[in-house]
Amino acid sequence: MKNRYTIAALAALMLATSTAQAQFQRPDDAVKYRQGALFVMGQHFGRVGAMASGRVPFDAQVAQQNMDVVMALSTLPWAGFGPETQSVNSRAKPNVWTDRAAFDEAGRNTLVALAALNEATRTGNLEAVRRTFGAAAATCKVCHDNFRN
C-alpha cells in the first residue's frame, strides 16, 4: 500500500474508481455499498480517534492497521452516489446531486485529510496523529452537515 498520495493522484483515483466500479446491478445495491463502505471506514477511523482523544492508549501499530483499512476503503463509497440512487430512501440530501461539484470537493477534501492522517500514524507521533485526526474528522463533518439528513 502506498503511503504517499498527492491531491491530483487522489482525485484521479477517485474518478477512476467511480468509473471502473459503476457496476451496480440495482440502485439499492449502490446505496448498501456506499453505506457499508462508509460504516466500516467509520469504525476504523473511530478507533484511531479513540487513541487521538486518549480514550484508549495510543498504539502506533494498531493505528496503522486501522488506517490501512480506512485508506483501502476511502476511495470506494463515492461510486455508490450515482444519479440512479437519488430515488432510493437514504439519509443523502438531494443536494448530493444538485450541487455535485461541492459534494465531490467535500469528498476530495476528506481523501486528502485522510492521507495526511495516514502519514501521521506512520510517524508514530501522537501529537501529529491528534492534529491530523481532528482535521480529517472536520472534513467528514462538513459532508455530514451539508449532504446528510
- Binding-site ranges for a second copy (CB under 8 A): 1, 20-21, 23-24, 29, 32-33, 35-37, 39-40, 43-44, 47, 50, 62, 65-66, 68-69, 72-73, 76
Q: Which is nearer to a second copy, 37 or 113 (CB)?
A: 37
Q: Least distance in Å: CB of 32 to a second copy? A: 5
Q: Which is nearer to a second copy, 65 or 125 (CB)?
A: 65
Q: Least distance in Å: CB of 73 to a second copy? A: 7
CA atoms of 90 and 108, how far apart (whole Å): 22
Contact indicator for 129, 64 with CB cutoff of 8 Å: no
Q: Least distance in Å: CB of 139 to a second copy? A: 21
CA atoms of 14 and 93, how far apart (whole Å): 21
User: In the structure grid, which three cell numbers stand for residue 2, read together?
Assistant: 502506498
Q: What is the DSSP letter of 25?
A: S
Q: Which is nearer to a second copy, 41 or 120 (CB)?
A: 41
Strand-pairing partners, residue 148, are 92
User: In the structure grid, which three cell numbers stand for residue 25, read together?
Assistant: 446491478
